Chains A and B, each alone.
Chain A
Amino acid sequence: SQQGEEDPQALSIQEGENATMNCSYKTSINNLQWYRQNSGRGLVHLILIRSNEREKHSGRLRVTLDTSKKSSSLLITASRAADTASYFCATVAGGTSYGKLTFGQGTILTVHP
């Protein structure tokens, strides 16, 4: 079963606007990762946030993690048409499941020029 559930399933915005995607998960985690997938391509790693971190930044990306609510959000600021892609969160469970990365079903982001 999917560990991460993402919301919304699809998001359509204009260039220059901010895009926020949310991810919820069910069990305790070691870390949470965000990936981007352009149509017909493999996934590209964006950012990793560990369970003892609350916020991380990378360029125009900002990720937050709330372990009490078992949720994370990805904010893309000043979006561009090139940001059009599917975005996935993925979790590594705590305990002894370090070999397994579990993905959510993704958010499809469309940025209109």
Chain B
Amino acid sequence: NAGVTQTPKFQVLKTGQSMTLQCAQDMNHEYMSWYRQDPGMGLRLIHYSVGAGITDQGEVPNGYNVSRSTTEDFPLRLLSAAPSQTSVYFCASSWGLEASYEQYFGPGTRLTVT
């Protein structure tokens, strides 16, 4: 199993550009989520999904969009990048329908917005 994979590893965007961060898992997990990690802070939840077609907002959803068309994939879209979105982004998944189980994290995408 590859576990949770994320692409790209690094990305530089200009303000106003859009892009999609990819996340995929091969463990047949229903629960998937996106976090951002800023220096000196823990992870903050952006969006999560409890199955295909079902998504909900986390703590910091503004400026981000998600959809879940398959169990395996959970892409995160930045609609119009801003310097405040410079961060490291992590995708995670777990087998339950909630966050109350061990989360498996991807390696992260380091995004810089200039």
Contacts and interface: CB of A to CB of B under 8 A. Distances in A.
B98 A42 contact: no
Contacts of B31: 99
A105 to B, nearest CB: 5
B67 to A, nearest CB: 16
Given A99-B48, A100-B48, A48 B43 contact: no
B61 to A, nearest CB: 12
Interface string B76-107: 00000000000000101000011111111111
B41 interface: yes
Nearest to A104: B42
Q: Which applies to chain A's interface (DSSP): helix, strand, loop or mixed?
A: strand
Looking at A30, A90, A100, the one whose CB has the most chain B CB atoms below 10 A away is A100
Given A33-B102, A42-B90, A100 B42 contact: no
B40 A30 contact: no
A45 B99 contact: no
A43 B58 contact: no
A22 to B, nearest CB: 15
Q: Using C-beta atoms within 8 Å of the partner chain, give the interface range for chain A.
A: 20 to 34
Contacts of A81: none
Contacts of A90: 42-43
Nearest to A44: B105
A32 B102 CA distance: 10
Given A30-B100, A100-B48, A101-B99, A2 B42 contact: yes
A41 B9 CA distance: 11
B50 interface: yes
Contact of A43 (B40, B43, B50, B100): B43
Given A99-B56, A99-B98, A33 B103 contact: yes
Given A45-B104, A48-B102, A100-B99, 18 more contacts: A2-B42, A41-B107, A41-B108, A42-B105, A42-B106, A43-B43, A44-B105, A45-B103, A88-B43, A90-B43, A92-B100, A98-B98, A99-B31, A99-B99, A100-B59, A101-B99, A103-B43, A105-B41
